Amino acid sequence: MIYCLDTDILIEYFRGNESIKYRIENLREGDSIGITWLNVYEFFKGIFASGKLEEEKFLIGLVNSAFLMDETYESSRIGGEIYASLKKSGNLINDADILIASIVKHHNAVLVTNNEDHFKRIAGLRVENWLTN
């Protein structure tokens, strides 16, 4: 199973959260950590906004050790379906979260996030919160 870390979880991991660290270090055999290019972008936003450019070292290490889940034609299609469904129900979330969810769904992965309120709105998206479980 691929466990895709959302940006809020990446930040907690960077800050040394023991719960996240424990879960990553104790994955079952065959499981892996994934990230999307959108999570990398969001982390970079924080690095540049704060001026803490040395934090990029953490990001480089993570990108080199995790499975980078790329966007594809199919994930874009899934994203369009998610957008339409959420808009129709009046529960629209931001585009970045829709794109992250579409990539995770396309890869049949689990999204690890503390932002359950947004992501639980998306039918068929598997979500876990490693900060509360």
pTM for the structure as a whole:
0.92
- In order of their start, the domains of the chain are 2-128 (3.40.50.1010)
Q: Is 120 helix (H, G, I), strand (E, B) or coil?
A: coil
Query: Bridge partners of 5?
Result: 112
- The size of the chain, in residues, is 133
Backbone phi and psi for residue 32, each to the nearest 5 degrees, phi listed first? -145, 165
pLDDT at res. 79: 97
* 108: alpha, beta or left? (left if phi > 0; alpha if psi -120 to 50): left
pLDDT at res. 133: 66
H/E stretch holding 67: strand 67-69
pLDDT at res. 90: 95
Question: Each residue's pLDDT tens digit in the chain (133 positions)?
Answer: 999 999 999 999 999 999 999 999 999 999 999 999 999 999 899 899 999 888 889 989 989 999 999 999 999 999 999 999 999 999 999 999 999 999 999 999 999 999 998 899 999 999 999 998 6
